[in-house]
Amino acid sequence: MTVMNWLIDNWFVLLAIAALGAMVGAFIWRFGSMPTQEQTAKVKEWLLWAVTQAEIDLGGGTGKLKLRQVYDLFVQRFPWLVKVVSFERFSELVDEALEEMRNMLATNTAVKKIVEGDAGNE
């Protein structure tokens, strides 16, 4: 089988790979073209969600486990940032997100019910 025959027989695979590559490239370009403040804001919004999810999953008194869970999620979600953001800086960002979550829990009863597991017990 020649290369040309293989290309003709598998054109749909090549097209799918090209489309996937274009989508990934567009996402990276879009994220990379945002101003640094916007990128940081997006990551901080995501971190707020991640620490809230860790609080729901693990509860109180499990700080190191929650940090590990959030870091593992961060590595999965933003693998390219792991190479740029030190663990110390990441930990600072998590502390900021935790502070924001605590403020939300103090001021928003709906969020408090979700985190405490009382959302369905009204």
Range of the domain at 83: 35-122
CA gap 114, 120 in Å, rounded: 9
Same domain (yes/no): 49, 102: yes
Same domain, 28 and 39: no
Do residues 46 and 24 share a domain? no
d(CA 86, CA 106): 30
User: Are 44 and 85 members of one domain?
Assistant: yes
Residue 37 has which token pair? 């403040």
Average pLDDT, 10 consecutive residues per value, the chain (122 residues)? 85 93 88 73 90 84 85 89 84 90 85 72 47
Answer yes or no: are the C-beta atoms of 70 and 49 closer than 8 Å.
Answer: no
**SS3 at position 81:** helix
Pair (50, 110) in one structural domain: yes
pTM reported for the whole predicted model: 0.60
Say if CB 93 and CB 47 are below 8 A apart.
yes
Largest separation between any pair of C-alpha atoms in the chain: 68
